Amino acid sequence: MKKMNKMIAASLAAVMGLSLAACGSSASSSAAASSEAASGAAEGKTYRVAIVQQLDHASLNEIRKAAETELDAKAAELGVTIEYTEFNGQNDATTLNQIGSQVVSDGYDAVMPIATLAAQCMQNATEGTDIPVVYAAVSDPETAGLTAENVTGTSDALNTDFILDMMFAQNPDIQTVGLLYSLSEDNSKQPIEDAKAYLDAKGVKYVEGTGNTTDEIVAATNNMLDQVDAIFTPTDNRVMDAELTIAESLIQAGVPHYTGADSFVRNGAFATCGVNYTELGAYTADMVVDAVVNGNLPAFHVMDGGIITVNTETAEGLGADYSAFKTMAGEVVKVTTTED
């Protein structure tokens, strides 16, 4: 397993505060701390953070990159060295558990898991230690059992009803909705139940398509194409991994895909309303710094959502009019398809 180490030393010191702003290749960089830096309890110290990404895809990559940028900035602000190491679990519990064992044995000061399975494995690995676990992008921490005293983080919890409201605002005549998700994703369970309750109350039929591999997600999608008028997927990592593959067939079939994150939309899905993952990554990094520098484990935080994102290329391919979205949210972001 390869790791990425990055050491950041700083020449400035300031009072730290939480900011609301918004296995891989190896690389490293470092700088000497200035002797002129202002004095402080943490100045000159070195902290080691393990960043454990559940798998490689656009949403989680965006979070990781934003977190690393913020760790760099906070190191500079506080006059400390933050050394962070990237691990990638390849969406495999055995691999993630091995990473957790390594993180504990190597004596990291904190671990930042990205996504639910990674967070669960890191919680298990650090049980009985004082290593803080600060997770990023866990949609439903309670259902995932992330309740240990040393565990906190950020949630990208969905407003499922609002996304389905978008679906029916765009096409009030929808008769059947496809629910596309992975059975192995804990973060998909509650949004799918919420979607079923919404559709039952509305008297709209739904068809479920599930899979635990990219090939299974592709097959489930293809099986639904002639049965549904639109498809909903929550923040499901397995579907996100397949989005670039399924997007073209959905467009050709005239089936809009409504999803739980803007990264899906940048990979070809039609629309979403959710959180900004760059802001989430930065916020989570600030929580990590608070934990290691100040010894303070911040409270669990649900990120603000409300940003509608539309893929204009997909909209054109579908012949879809999304003007109704403009009256539903304060901001509608237009993107095109990129292979993130």
Give tens-digit pLDDT for 310-332. Answer: 999 999 999 999 999 998 976 79
Question: Is there a single domain that holds both residue 202 and residue 324?
Answer: yes
Within-domain flag for 136:
yes
Within-domain flag for 76:
yes
Per-residue pLDDT at 17: 34
Per-residue pLDDT at 42: 67
Question: Is there a single domain that holds both residue 250 and residue 206?
Answer: yes
- Residue in 85, 84, 92 with CA at minimum distance from that of residue 121: 92
91-to-55, 61, 86, 137, 144 alpha-carbon distances in Å: 5, 14, 15, 15, 16
Question: Is there a single domain that holds both residue 128 and residue 192?
Answer: no
CA pair distance 78, 13, nearest whole angstrom: 4
Describe the chain by its helix, strand, coil percentages, rounded to 5: 40, 20, 40
Within-domain flag for 100:
yes
Question: Is there a single domain that holds both residue 47 and residue 108?
Answer: yes
What are the tokens at 319?
A: 């012949």
CA pair distance 35, 155, nearest whole angstrom: 39
Q: What is the identity of the amino acid at 110? A: A
Per-residue pLDDT at 307: 87
Question: Is there a single domain that holds both residue 139 and residue 283?
Answer: yes
113-to-49, 71, 138, 233, 301 alpha-carbon distances in Å: 10, 15, 10, 23, 15
CA pair distance 293, 55, nearest whole angstrom: 28
| Cα four-point dihedral sign 44, 122, 54, 206 | negative
Per-residue pLDDT at 263: 87
Question: Is there a single domain that holds both residue 230 and residue 297?
Answer: no
Per-residue pLDDT at 304: 81
Q: Dihedral through CA 321, CA 327, CA 329, CA 334, nearest 10?
A: 30
Question: Is there a single domain that holds both residue 11 and residue 76?
Answer: yes
Beta strands in the chain (DSSP E): 4-8, 46-53, 81-88, 110-114, 133-135, 151-155, 176-181, 205-210, 230-232, 257-259, 271-274, 301-302, 307-311, 331-335
Decide: 121 and 89 in contact? Cβ < 8 Å: yes
The strand pair at 271-274 and 307-311 is best described as antiparallel
Q: Provide the total of helices (H) and of strands (E) in the chain, helices listed first.
A: 11, 14
Instruction: Output the domain CATH number for residue 100.
Output: 3.40.50.2300
- Residue in 296, 286, 301, 298 with CA at minimum distance from that of residue 16: 286
Per-residue pLDDT at 120: 97
**Which positions of the chain have pLDDT values less than 70?**
1-42, 330, 340
Longest dimension (CA), the chain: 69
Q: Which residues contact 73 (CB under 8 A, 6 or more apart)?
A: none
Tell me the CB-side half-sphere exposure of residue 69, using CA atoms within 13 A: 15
Question: Is there a single domain that holds both residue 13 and residue 133?
Answer: yes
Question: Is there a single domain that holds both residue 30 and residue 144?
Answer: yes
Question: Is there a single domain that holds both residue 192 and residue 310?
Answer: yes
Overall domain count for the chain: 2
Q: What does the pLDDT look like over 29-72, one tens digit per residue?
A: 222 222 233 334 567 899 999 999 999 888 899 999 999 999 99
Range(s) of the domain holding residue 44: 4-156+276-302
Question: Is there a single domain that holds both residue 92 and residue 173?
Answer: no
Per-residue pLDDT at 101: 98
Within-domain flag for 340:
no
Within-domain flag for 208:
yes
Question: Is there a single domain that holds both residue 29 and residue 150?
Answer: yes
Within-domain flag for 65:
yes
Within-domain flag for 59:
yes
Q: Which residues contact 324 (CB under 8 A, 6 or more apart)?
A: 166, 169, 170
Within-domain flag for 197:
yes
Helix axis angle for 58-78 and 277-294, nearest 10°, is: 40
The strand pair at 81-88 and 4-8 is best described as antiparallel
